[in-house]
Amino acid sequence: MAPLLISREAWRSMKHIDRLEEYIMMVTFPLMVILVVAATAVRYFELGSMAWGEELARYCMIFSVYAGIAMGFKHDSHLGVSFFVGLLPDYVKPVVNIIRTLLILIFGLLVGYYAFAIILRQMRTNQISSAMQIPIWYVYSILPLGSMLIIARTLQSFFKNRSAEKSKKGGSVA
């Protein structure tokens, strides 16, 4: 059930984000593996170089990492955070959760802001990638997109946890 502070429509729109993250992972990860194997085979059999393939594999890795980070926040499965918060007494956990959420939000906002500034500079200077000869801002566009996903997932996780805490205490959840 949707928490009090987020409308049902906003909660449902998160399903679209779920699909986006899943599609990014379903496309980029296998493509990356195929490209790396192909580039290795081409080098091994001395057929030349697949510099474009290696570059594209690197970009696929970057996209899959950002999608994976957002998915990790969705499921609250970042090991370090879950492990250390689990060691704390129950009365401290809500405060730590709020501090953690604020720090993640600030980080996401800063990364998104500075990435956007970098993208604008790259667009002005027409910077292109070395092997594929594409505008490099295409690749850097994952940074603000990934930051937005991280912010959305952090808020989703925060409100879900708050809702669960209220349910445990017998509070009402709309």
pLDDT of residue 11: 65
* pLDDT higher than 50, residue 134: yes
The answer for residues whose C-beta is within 8 angstroms of residue 6's C-beta and 6 or more apart is 155, 156, 159
- How crowded is residue 111: how many other Cβ atoms within 10 Å of its Cβ? 16
Give tens-digit pLDDT for 13-54: 778 888 888 999 999 999 999 999 999 999 999 999 899 999
Number of residues assigned to the chain: 174
Position 94: which residue type?
P
pLDDT of residue 1: 44
Beta bridge partners of 114: none
Q: How many angstroms separate the Cα of 134 from the Cα of each of 32, 129, 137, 140?
A: 18, 5, 9, 12
pLDDT of residue 52: 94
Tell me how far apart the alpha carbons of residues 138 and 135 are, in angstroms, rounded to a whole number: 6
Tell me how far apart the alpha carbons of residues 88 and 168 are, in angstroms, rounded to a whole number: 18
Residue 79: band (very low, low, confident or very high) from pLDDT cuts 50, 70, 90: low
Q: How far apart are the first and last CA of the chain?
A: 7
Note the pTM of the prediction, 2 decimals. Answer: 0.79
* pLDDT higher than 50, residue 2: no
pLDDT of residue 77: 77
